[in-house]
Amino acid sequence: MAEEKEITGRIILVQEERFRIVDNRGRSFLFDLSHRAPVTNQDLINWSKAKTWLVVEYEGEPEMESGIAHSVKAV
């Protein structure tokens, strides 16, 4: 597996297994949720509605097919 990176922010959009997160600087990042991630699409929707701050561990590059979120956890 490639080196994992981390970002903190809030989800502003969920579409199937993809979601967009915005960090505290206003930058947005699009990710695909890994099939192995211990969260569901409904978790993403609930966090988005609640405007919950999250930590996303990912590999690859956001906005590209390689941007895969492996872990999403509430802060």
The CATH number of the domain holding residue 55 is 2.40.50
Q: What is the DSSP string of 48-62?
A: HHHT-EEEEEEES-T
| Average pLDDT over every residue of 53-71 | 93
CA distances to 38, 39, 40, 67 from 27, in Å: 25, 23, 24, 15
Residue-wise pLDDT tens digits, 17-56: 999 999 999 999 999 999 999 999 999 999 999 999 999 9
| Parallel, antiparallel or unpaired: strands 53-59 and 68-74 | antiparallel
Neighbours of 12 (CB within 10 A): 12
Our count of domains for the chain comes to 1
What confidence category does residue 2 fall into, taking pLDDT thresholds of 50, 70 and 90? low
Q: What is the residue range of 20's domain?
A: 5-32+39-74
Could you identify the residue written with the tokens 């922010």?
Answer: 9
pLDDT of residue 66: 85
